[in-house]
Amino acid sequence: LCKTGGRTLNHKMTNQRYPTTRMRRVRQSDWSRRLVAENSLSVDDLIWPVFVTEGTGQSVDVASMPGVQRHSVDRLVEQVKQAADLGIPAIAIFPETDPSLKTDDAAEAWNPDNLVCRTVAAIKAAVPSVGIICDVALDPYTSHGQDGLVRDGKVVNDESVAALCDQAVVQAKAGCDIIAPSDMMDGRIGEIRMALDQEGCEDVMVMSYAAKYASAFYGPFRDAIGSKSNLSTGNVDGGGKKTYQMNPANTDVAMREVALDLDEGADMVMVKPGMPYLDIVRRVKEQFAVPTFAYQVSGEYAMLNAAAINGWLDREAVMMESLVGFKRAGCDGILTYFAIDAAKSLAQ
Ligand code: PBG
């Protein structure tokens, strides 16, 4: 009889061979754990969202996003060079618009010389190897902070879509590679695609924020671009975005949104937020088999960092675990504020 720790195990007394299957065998060493790993994170999976502000020589901390700063164009160019050196394929640019330029009609959004367009041009000139993604939505430019135009206290659809087309065209002409509509108006992907094609920008890609939820996890982002106070002082739709962004309780509508956006010409689709919506990522990837991305949004970044700062979580470990979780769910790539740190970690 084989005794283990003074205790006779049942299967050994009865000569059963259980457990013949020992799940722990392949987990016993680092090399065998790596050998049987199904998913891995690579620097090629990372998209880095960045905030740009006016001025020169400016780098200002975003209080609710420790480690994240808004940079003036000159500083941002330096940051993007670093990202390129690390091998990060693409960045996504978000502007903090001067409050004096915010209006009800969001006209600054289609000013060909606005902050985003100047940033795109500067980065294209200095770091041509990095892909540039621009958000299409009116919230950085509206006095009410909504993503669309407001008439009689409501965010109107079709008129907003026309404005979004103008915004997309100036961004594309400035050199943007991927137009990423995040506004959730109906029919905007098709109209933007046609507007781009009419303007000779048929090679510009469209990454649709197809399944975007009305989420409280966007809070720190709204601090970063300075749209939070605009939203809360506005009386439009109760200061929220629930009439266009999706209800967190739903999954079927996400499938319909993705289907429509693909039908209208989207090249890639995105699910947003990320970690609480990995079930949506999985369903999208399985059903449509198209390039699928998720956005680990500002609030997800904020909560992991807040816990790490308190010593409650290991920042490096939860960063890498959360990112490989996106891969496991079926993502082809992840928009994450951890992009630089994750790329450094992967390079070690
Ligand atoms: C703009 C936009 C938002 C985010 C990306 N594009 C905020 C919003 O919809 O209110 C959020 C990103 C983040 O939280 O990191 N429409």
Q: Is the CB of 218 under 6 A from ligand 1?
A: yes
Q: How far apart are CA 285 and CA 282, in angstroms?
A: 5
| CA–centroid distance, residue 324 to ligand 1 (Å) | 22
Give the separation between CA 133 and CA 175, rounded to whole angstroms: 10
The total number of residues written for the chain in this structure: 348
Residue located nearest, by CA, to atom 6 of ligand 1: 182
CA of 225 to the centre of ligand 1 (A): 9
The tokens describing 94, both together, are 């978000």
Q: Is 133 in the pocket of ligand 1 (CB under 6 A)?
A: no
- Residue ranges for the known binding site for Mg(2+) are 257
pLDDT at 225: 86
- Identify the residue whose C-alpha is closest to ligand 1 atom 5: 182
Q: Is the dihedral of CA 90, 148, 188, 244 positive or negative?
A: positive
Q: What is the pLDDT of residue 112?
A: 98
**Which residues does 305 contact at the CB level (< 8 Å), separation at least 6?**
65, 66, 67, 315
Closest C-alpha to ligand 1, atom 14: 218
Q: What is the pLDDT at residue 27?
A: 98
Q: Which fold would CATH assign to domain 44-347?
A: TIM Barrel (3.20.20)
Q: CA nearest 237: which of 142, 99, 302?
A: 142
Q: Global pTM?
A: 0.94
Report the nearest atom of ligand 1 relative to the CA of 217: 14
* Interatomic CA distance for residues 148 and 154, integer angstroms: 9
- Degrees to nearest 5, angle at CA 220 with 214 and 226: 95
Q: Of the candidates 52, 91, 50, 96, which has an alpha carbon nearest to the alpha carbon of residue 74? A: 52
pLDDT value at residue 8: 72
- pLDDT given for residue 238 in this prediction: 73
Instruction: Determine the straight-line distance between the first and last CA of the chain, rounded to whole angstroms.
Output: 49
Q: Which residues, at least 6 apart from 182, have a Cβ–Cβ distance to it below 8 Å?
A: 135, 136, 137, 147, 209, 212, 272
ipTM given for this complex:
0.97
Cα 8 to middle of ligand 1, angstroms: 60
Which whole-number Å values give the CA distances from 107 to 79, 111, 347, in the listed order? 29, 7, 43
Indicate the annotated binding residues: 257
- The pLDDT score that the predictor gives to residue 280 is 98
The reported pLDDT for the residue numbered 228 is 75
Q: Which atom of ligand 1 is nearest to the CA of 296?
A: 15
Q: Determine if ligand 1 sits within 6 Å of the CB of residue 300.
A: no
For ligand 1, atom 8, the nearest C-alpha belongs to 218
199, 211, 214: which is closest to 168 by C-alpha?
199
Q: Report CA-CA distances (Å) from 146 to 19, 103, 130, 139, 175.
A: 60, 11, 30, 5, 26
Ligand 1 pocket test: pick from 91, 138, 147, 182 the residue with the most ligand atoms within 8 Å of its Cβ. 182
CA of 344 to the centre of ligand 1 (A): 26
Every domain of the chain and the residues it spans: 44-347
| Tens of pLDDT, residues 78-135 | 999 999 999 999 999 999 999 999 999 999 999 999 999 999 999 999 999 999 999 9
Residue 221 alpha carbon to ligand 1 centre in Å: 6
135 Cα nearest atom in ligand 1: 6
298 in ligand 1 pocket by Cβ < 6 Å?
A: yes
pLDDT by residue for the chain (348 residues), tens digit each? 455 677 777 766 666 666 778 999 999 999 999 999 999 999 999 999 999 999 999 999 999 999 999 999 999 999 999 999 999 999 999 999 999 999 999 999 999 999 999 999 999 999 999 999 999 999 999 999 999 999 999 999 999 999 999 999 999 999 999 999 999 999 999 999 999 999 999 999 999 999 999 999 999 998 888 877 778 765 677 778 999 999 999 999 999 999 999 999 999 999 999 999 999 999 999 999 999 999 999 999 999 999 999 999 999 999 999 999 999 999 999 999 999 999 999 999
pLDDT at position 172: 98
Cis peptide before 291 (omega within 30 of 0): no
Nearest CA, atom 10, ligand 1 = 218
Q: Backbone dihedral region of 282: left (phi > 0), alpha (psi from -120 to 50 degrees) or beta?
A: alpha
Q: What is the pLDDT of residue 12?
A: 64
For residue 251, the CA-to-ligand 1 centroid distance in Å is 20
Catalytic residues: 212, 272
CA distance 229 to 67: 23
Q: What is the dihedral of CA 209, 134, 337, 74, to 10 degrees?
A: -170
